[in-house]
Structure 1
């Protein structure tokens, strides 16, 4: 069994929706169990499900992009992980990341870079989306999978004046599921040593 942990922070519910779809996609891969963890429950190094993260084969990190970087709630989790870092509890685990913001760009690449560096500091192995851009030719459309064209990690977009019941839109939710499945498959291969 491959165990995937999805650790996320969500300020307004949009990133939580993405996290749910990433988890659904990962959990849909045969032989995989995927579970959500709120960063808020991991805000201190001595409380929360840290042992479950240490036992996971992969950890997928998710945060909204606020003011060009990961949200404060996610950063608090990242800072609290210093005990796990000192113990090298996540070394050689698969890592990946996702982010959401209201704008199509919204400086999301900065957040994904921040999450990738964080994973590297923990000695983790980063996996990108594995997807081609969906909206960079005349055959593409805003309804395409990976419409934002990200490769480092998953990017989604949710209009700030729409609730999490409708935003991010269906194509981003589907992209999140494909991303979760991709990470679960990579973790299974890595765990088996293939």
Structure 2
């Protein structure tokens, strides 16, 4: 099985819950960016050894928070040596609004992966966009570039709709399966 890691920042626990669901689907290791935007040396080693990297961050004020950006900037050390070249990447973002400009955050993650020479995995699931669709349906927010999640601003992570949790698990499975195709010996 391909070695997958989920590297994420979570300010209030909502993004952490989604990271855990993605990791469950991918059977991945979780790497949490701390409140100062840092990762341990062991976490950087895990990223170097990974076949697939899933990036996760909330969307604050239209983009990823500074802690995630600090991680992204620190990844330039891997960029200089092309250490993440041809790794499989995916990404997710959480915000309080249904839209919340999460697409901007995902495109930033996709750009980061592309700068590293990575291979981006789309969500791969059609949207649940019929009259009968509910927030408990898979991909109810209609993501395609990556995983979109809505978490009510006045509730804890337990209030994230079941459809978003199921979509997160499924995305983890998808990223892991794509990574396995690129690295069948893993």
Fold similarity call, TM over 0.5? yes
Partner of 2:109: 115
- The TM-score with structure 1 as length reference comes to 0.90
Following superposition, the deviation at residue 46 of structure 1 comes to 8.5
In structure 2, C-alpha distance between the alignment counterparts of 1:41 and 1:190, rounded to whole Å: 34
Measure, in 1, the Cα distance between the counterparts of 2:85 and 2:36: 19
RMSD in angstroms over aligned alpha carbons?
1.8
* Distance 1:116-1:139 versus aligned 2 partners, 3 A rule: same
Asked whether 1:89 is paired with 2:83, we answer yes
Give the alignment's TM-score, normalised by structure 2: 0.94
1:32-78: CA deviations, max 9, x gaps?
A: xx100012299458845212111100000000000000111111100
Q: Which residue number corresponds to residue 33 of structure 2?
A: 39
Q: Which residue of 2 aligns with 1:16?
A: 16
In 2 relative to 1, CA 41–119 (structure 1 residues): closer, same or farther, beyond 3 Å? farther
Aligned residue pairs: how many?
A: 185
Runs in 1 of length 4+ with deviation above 3 angstroms? 41-48
Equivalent-residue separation in structure 2 for 1:104 and 1:7 (angstroms): 23
For structure 2, the residue ranges without an aligned partner over 5 or more in a row are: none
Residue 129 of structure 1 corresponds to which residue in structure 2? 123
CA separation of 1:190 and 1:85: change in aligned 2, threshold 3 A? same
